[in-house]
Amino acid sequence: MYKVTAAFLTCLFTVNAYRLQKDVRPEHYKLEIISYLGEKDNFNFDGKVWIDTSCVKPTSNITLHSKDLTIKEGEINIKDVSSNDSKTQKISKINYDKENDFLIILLTEPLKEDHKYEIYIPFSGKLDDGLAGFYRSSYYDKKKKEKRWLGVTQFEAISARRAFPCFDEPEMKATFDISIGRKDGYRAISNMPLLNTEPL
């Protein structure tokens, strides 16, 4: 198993008429995804995302996009990185709005204006053949005479939320550091330079 890291600068697009609140804005994502392609019939993937955000105005509601992902609710963590002690925000409830693909994190106390917060969300998903988000494709290897599977991404226009929890809106630009865990014998290909590859 190998981890491949690359850096991205991007904008996540959406055409959803129901917009996210502008109280919290993303600045940077650190995303880790582990694919199990290479294990027979294992199309699952596991992920973790750390989102560096800024609070524009006080709010007790953090709403992101998430679609067809399993969120590990008990491990979600939000901390105030503006404070010396990196105070952790207490979560009162987590809701889902399936119609609008919203993941809603409700807090016991409001976030403070102009403070920076790190949102940590672990999750899992499944590579399907829906041609959106992080999905599977295949080809036939004539030399080995076998079907080979690929993991492919398609995030436009509203499909980044199928790969990881995010603020999937056009105005919410952010920088990215992305690490992909893969089996030996597979490669990770990106539109940005490779920073490093290391065994997991």
Give the CATH H-level superfamily of domain 2-190.
tricorn interacting facor f3 domain (2.60.40.1730)
Domain boundaries, the chain: 2-190
Would you give per-residue pLDDT tens digits along the chain (200 residues)? Answer: 555 555 444 444 444 447 898 999 999 999 999 999 989 889 999 999 999 999 999 999 999 999 999 999 999 999 999 977 789 999 999 999 999 999 999 999 999 999 999 999 999 999 998 888 888 888 898 988 888 888 888 888 788 999 999 999 988 999 999 999 998 888 888 888 888 888 87
Closest CA to 7 of 175, 125, 181: 175
CA 80/CA 118 separation, integer angstroms: 7
Strands of the 102-111 sheet, one edge to the other? 59-65, 102-111, 91-97
SS3 category, 24: strand
